[in-house]
């Protein structure tokens, strides 16, 4: 977030199921974000570089990224990040990108997705999500 404009800290991510349905938790969350932003501003006013001051900001602070990947790396990214064991936010992004890739280059991304889609089995062993059949069916229906 070194080059991110943080003059207003209005955009942050909330996992809908864990915070947004609980008013008490939302209030705690918002108050914490406000305090973090105030601390960031004080540090910046005292000449602390943005790359150092940012350490007090919540990890949920929205930021923009740009990334480039070739088809091989995209397929690898989908293998890791479309998996149900991936963090929900990156999984949602990976699935959106996969949808675009399948519409642009359907042959290249025909069986792209989590490992179980590509391999036909889950390589996670005891760490598996236990929902391989459901995942496979879901990806078959989207194709």
The dihedral formed by the CA atoms of 29, 32, 34 and 37, expressed in degrees to the nearest 10: -120
Locus of tokens 């900001």? 57
Residue 44 falls in the annotated catalytic set: no
Which position among 72, 75, 81, 118 bears the catalytic label?
81
Backbone angles phi, psi at 12, to 5 degrees: -150, 160
Backbone angles phi, psi at 52, to 5 degrees: -95, -40
Beta carbons of 39 and 55 less than 8 angstroms apart: no
Number of H helices, E strands in the chain: 6, 0
Q: Name the residues annotated as catalytic.
A: 81
């Amino acid at each position: 977030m070194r080059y991110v404009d943080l003059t207003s800290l209005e955009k942050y991510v909330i996992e809908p199921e864990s915070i947004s349905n609980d008013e008490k938790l939302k209030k705690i969350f918002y108050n914490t974000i406000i305090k973090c932003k105030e601390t960031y501003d004080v540090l910046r006013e005292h000449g602390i570089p943005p790359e150092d001051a940012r350490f007090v900001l919540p990890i949920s602070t929205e930021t923009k990224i740009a990334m480039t990947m070739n088809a091989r790396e995209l397929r690898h990214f989908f293998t890791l990040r479309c998996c149900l064991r991936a963090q929900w936010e990156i999984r949602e992004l990976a699935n959106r990108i996969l949808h675009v890739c399948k519409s642009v280059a359907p042959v290249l991304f025909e069986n792209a997705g989590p490992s179980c889609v590509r391999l036909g089995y889950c390589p996670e062993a005891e760490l598996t999500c236990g929902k391989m059949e459901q995942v496979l069916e879901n990806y078959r229906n989207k194709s």
